[in-house]
Homo-oligomer: A and B are copies of this chain.
Amino acid sequence: MSLKPSSSARSIDPYRMMDGRPTFSHVATSTGPSRIIITAGQVGADENGIVPATPSDQIALAFENLSRCLEAAGAGVADILKLTYYIVNYDPKNRHHAPHLIKFLNGHRPATTLVPVTALANPEYLFEIEATAAVAQAPTQTVDVVVVGAGLSGLQTAYDLQKAGFSCVVVEARDRVGGKTWSVEPIASGKVIDLGAAWVNDTNQTRVHALAKKLGLATVVQNTKGNVIQHDLDDSKSTFVYGTVPLLAEINGTENMVYVRDLVEETCQQLDLYKITPAGKDLDKLTLEEFVKAQEKGESAFATVTIWTRVMLGLEPSEMSALFFLDYCNRGGGFLQMRSDKRHGGQYMRLVQGTQSLSKGLTELLAPGTVILNSPVRLIRQDGSGGAYVSSGRGDFKCRKVVVSVPTPLYKEITFVPALSEAKTTLSSSTVLGYTSKAMLMYDTPWWRTANLCGMVQSFKGPVAATRDTSNDDKKQYSLTCFLVGDWGREQSKKTKAERHQGIISHIRELFSPFVEVPEPITIIEHEWAKDQWAQGCPCPATPPGIMSQYGHAMTTVHGNVHFVGTETAVKWKGYMEGAIESGERGAEEVIKSLTKAKL
């Protein structure tokens, strides 16, 4: 199944001209109706204007920025018609840019001009590159429903709609389906790693379990056999049996931590899934940090809470209201269940083929041609004449209903005409997406098990906040997943990838070496969701104090003919794949009801 749209760009090498291989052609044309995309000159400076120290890193960053620009418009390298690059102090004998260019182009050969210059806009810049691209445009299609986003929620909506007999397309900005379900095989086929969502269970996550079963997907139970490593505030490393509590260095640390844990469990269980109680309203006046610190239970307890919010949401306890966090836990059956790696817990099992197989499987169940990739939606217009007009990177649509499945902070990437309500706009601008990057260290063997370690760590010192054994023994895929999350993750994110990876490997060695000999990983792989323009963070947007109680109700309010889904709108297992599916079902149901009523 290839959903990739073909390029409208065509390169031509006129007869008897200088050979442009491997990087350029003399002519490029765009065939058929297309959208023209032009980038500004891209230099090697990051979002803060910081220019890397070496020319090579600067050039690499310029290409990265160029890729980002193209991606923002739904274009890829193969869509480029023309590249112009400007080089300061160009030396024909020393073409620093060439390896970067060859790697970037990956065989594509656009028309190209190299311009040596004496300087660029800023004296630090040594290299600048700009592109003109063309993206084929399909003729305007008329469908019943356009779903924006081919993550699990959007795909589920489309599936339900098609089953009910409605025509539907799913328009996706990325070059793949799955949203934050993304499974890759970095070292070998079958040795699958989940860069995003990973865990499910087969008891209270009924929807995701049913889907996995329907698709015939094999599961693997999360390893909890053996000891967890505790990296304490005093830098000591100790171990404790999974399911028990660590013996913390701080006086009364363990009891205090248990007190706070039980308070969180108890308080969250008292909330109501369907309305905000008076107690909930009060909890929305505080940050989670304020709520916890008011208990005066010391440093370790707070360090533990910080690990929870980091690992669960990529955020600090100061960044969300107490209500948000407790409500979030309640939707997963309570704090203890949500945090558990055991049966009924949030991290009980994984999918052998990775969680993206859920999204891919759902896609296969849709009518051919339903999903349109590389096609960011930038405009949703309702002119009052009924229905809506959706403009996307690869073509436009007239439809009766739109279902938007992207996270609230990404609403700003779409121009809504008329504009979204104030409540929705406030939600979109107030919700915060966390920094979550799972760095996966892949090994030849599950070496930690030899020392009766389950592969789980919790660290009060960082940079890695927690780890999990994410191996699949049947496939001989052995890996430790390291959570770079919250402020520690943001800090790591400022480093170069090499520096960051070295830091992770060092921390893993520091954590495990008191108990076992630590080998070098075969590879390390990660995806910085916070830098991903179609995620902008991970896993689920949170709200600071005051937002949830005042605007939370607007999350699922329809906007004319536009409906809203996504795991953050779920009643149960919000932030999880289960919640995504639930919300997708709810969205489809809303649309079906409204379209069926319209027929009568």
State the A residues within 8 Å of B (CB): 10, 12, 14-20, 24-42, 45-49, 65, 68-73, 81-82, 84, 86, 90, 92, 110-123, 128, 130, 132, 134, 137, 378-379, 391, 396, 413, 531, 533, 536
A69 touches B14 (CB 8 A): yes
Cα–Cα distance between A71 and B128 once the two chains are bound (Å):
30
Q: Of the candidates B19, B32, B92, which one forms a contact with A396 in the assembled complex, judged by CB atoms under 8 Å apart?
A: B32
Does the CB pair A16–B533 fall under 8 Å? yes
Query: In the complex, what distance in Å separates the CA atom of A355 from the CA atom of B81?
Result: 40
Contact of A117 among B112, B116, B536 (CB under 8 A): B116
Majority DSSP secondary structure for residues of A touching B: mixed
On whether A115 and B117 interact (CB within 8 A), knowing A29-B73, A32-B396, A35-B31, the answer reads yes
5 contacts between A and B (CB under 8 A): A17-B69, A24-B40, A26-B42, A90-B119, A90-B121
Asked if A71 contacts B40 (CB within 8 A), the reply is no
A49 to B20, CA, bound (A): 11
A260 shortest CB reach to chain B, Å? 35
Residues of B within 8 A of A117 (CB): 115-118
CB pair A116–B121 under 8 Å, yes or no, is yes
Among A35, A47, A68, residue most surrounded by chain B Cβ atoms (within 10 Å): A35
For the complex of A and B, list the 8 residue pairs with the smallest distance between their C-beta atoms, beginning with the closest: A41-B113, A14-B72, A15-B533, A40-B111, A38-B82, A114-B121, A116-B119, A16-B47
Contact partner, A18, options B17, B36, B49, B86, Cβ 8 Å? B49
A134 and B41 CA atoms in complex are apart in Å by: 19
Contact among B10, B27, B115, B531 for A69, CB-based, below 8 A: B27
* A130 CB contacts on chain B under 8 angstroms: 82, 84, 111, 113
- For the complex with contacts A30-B35, A117-B117, 16 further pairs of A-B residues with Cβ separation under 8 Å are A14-B71, A16-B47, A17-B47, A26-B68, A26-B69, A27-B39, A28-B37, A28-B39, A29-B35, A32-B391, A38-B81, A41-B84, A41-B113, A111-B130, A116-B118, A118-B118
Would A27 and B40 count as touching, CB distance under 8 A?
yes
Given A39-B26, A113-B40, A113-B130, residue A68 in contact with residue B14 (CB < 8 A): yes
How far is it, in angstroms, between the C-alpha of A484 and the C-alpha of B72 when the chains are bound?
53
Per the bound structure, the CA–CA distance linking A286 and B356 in Å amounts to 63
What chain B residues lie within 8 Å of A48 (beta carbons)? 18
Residues in B whose Cβ lies below 8 Å from that of A46 = 18
